[in-house]
Amino acid sequence: MTKRVIVIGSGIIGASIAWHLARAGAAVTVIEAGDAGGLATRNSWAWINASWGNPLSYFRLRVRSMEEWRRLDREVPGLAVNWCGGLIWDLPPVELDAFAREHAGWGYGIRRVGPDEMRRIEPGLKIVPDHAYHVAAEGAVEPAETARLLLSGARALGAEVLDHSHVRWLVEEANRVVGIMTDEGIIHADEVVVAAGGGSQQLLDSVGIAIRLTAPPGLLSHSKPAPELLRGLLMTPGLHVRQTREGRLVAGTDFAGADPMGKADELAHQLHGKVQALVAGAEQIALDFHTVGYRPTPADGFPAIGRPRNREGLYVAVTHSGVTLAPAIGLFASTELMDGRRDPLLDPFHPDRPALQ
Ligand SMILES: Cc1cc2nc3c(=O)[nH]c(=O)nc-3n(C[C@H](O)[C@H](O)[C@H](O)COP(=O)(O)OP(=O)(O)OC[C@H]3O[C@@H](n4cnc5c(N)ncnc54)[C@H](O)[C@@H]3O)c2cc1C
């Protein structure tokens, strides 16, 4: 019998899970409280990477997801990942070298580049540091558009997408989640996936499941559209910047954006000033607007993906770095939901782990 699965949330995580489930033959309904395409997702810097600061198990999941992006890029009509590569010099030289040594040892395609090569890779740089690294395999997507393409792909495979439809609570019978209560009434399903980003906690509370989640803010400045000034991603001290397909220079203090701390306008102008100081031609390009997104983040900073124990019919998928991780999470969640097989790469990231209780 066809499995009926409800996916709550249409950000990059819900959209990827819905697409993979629909492809695996499930009858999928995506429920989204707002516009299709997510909340954190539309405010994301959207760098696809397995860069510094992560333990090996998390690095492996990220690298696998980078590979899965290449598969999705081929399989989903209209998807266009920008495999533009990233230049990185946002750590002091000693730490940068240590990170590069470790990650190269793990198989990451990171290599030292000197000033001449940097100028060849990124001709628009006004300041070229002595000490930097390049990762050709990194990339970026336009995040909300990508989530919507995954949803269109899921629709083409038979999924239903209901936007502007708020889920009030999960409906439970005898320790099994059997559906959801929306403003329009109950919808039943065999499985319910909570991929509701910052709204996940409230939904899980409705069936007595506590997973410690946080949602730190991140500000990004967006310039007016410009002709090509940057080819790839730049990770520099206090400034991460890339140029979108539309031509906007989008910048944060790091890939997750900066905490505006009540001074969003000021911070956006400061960031844009740094972009103008770094990128030739950006002096002529005005700041257009800024965004502040809230990053759904399990309390220990790592993904929470899987079925909470002692509860049937329920699957949780909440994570930071969701743009990087969406393809692997979509694939692994759909396999676990449809065949009961859990990918070993997910083992450290169970939602029931002690750090999240
Ligand atoms: C400033 C910033 C920079 C970032 N940079 C990067 C980066 O460079 N690389 C990277 O990999 N990641 C980055 N991230 C993180 C990444 O964007 C997120 O991890 C990812 O977008 C999360 O996607 P999601 O689908 O889980 O959540 P969301 O996009 O928030 O989607 C969840 C959806 O669920 C819906 N929802 C919630 N509650 C309900 C309900 N009760 N009923 C119905 N619908 C509901 C919401 O309306 C929302 O649309 C960044 C995030 C931010 C904010």
Q: Is the CB of 46 under 6 A from ligand 1?
A: yes
CA–CA dist 326, 17 (Å, integer): 8
3-class SS of residue 125: strand
Amino acid letter at 226?
Answer: A
Listed residue (302, 304, 303, 306) closest to 342, CA to CA: 306
pLDDT digits (tens, 9 = 90+) for 22-62: 999 999 999 999 999 999 999 999 999 999 889 999 999 99
Listed residue (37, 5, 32, 43) closest to 151, CA to CA: 37
Check if 4-45+144-214+298-356 and 86-136+224-294 are the same fold: no
The secondary structure of 13-34 as a DSSP string is HHHHHHHHHHHTT-EEEEE-SS
Architecture of the domain defined by 4-45+144-214+298-356: 3-Layer(bba) Sandwich (3.50)
pLDDT band at 254 (very low <50, low <70, confident <90, very high): confident
Helices (H), the chain: 12-23, 56-75, 93-105, 115-121, 143-156, 200-205, 264-278, 322-339
> Which of the listed residues 7, 8, 44 should we mutate to test ligand 1's pocket, taking the one with most ligand atoms within 8 A of CB?
44
CA–CA dist 81, 48 (Å, integer): 9
CATH T-level fold of 86-136+224-294 = D-Amino Acid Oxidase; Chain A, domain 2 (3.30.9)
pLDDT digits (tens, 9 = 90+) for 286-315: 999 999 999 999 999 999 999 998 899 999
More confident site: 131 or 303? 303
3-class SS of residue 176: strand
* Domain residue ranges in the chain: 4-45+144-214+298-356, 86-136+224-294
Q: What is the mean pLDDT of residues 90-107?
A: 96
pLDDT band at 107 (very low <50, low <70, confident <90, very high): very high
Q: Enumerate residues 6+ apart whose C-beta is below 8 A from 344.
A: none
Amino acid letter at 170?
Answer: L
**pTM of full prediction above 0.95:** yes
Lowest mean pLDDT among 6-15, 119-128, 254-263, 342-351: 254-263
3-class SS of residue 170: strand
Q: What is the mean pLDDT of residues 210-215?
A: 94
Residue 148 Cα, ligand 1 centroid: separation in angstroms? 13
Locate the ligand 1 atom nearest the alpha carbon of residue 294 and give its number.
Answer: 53
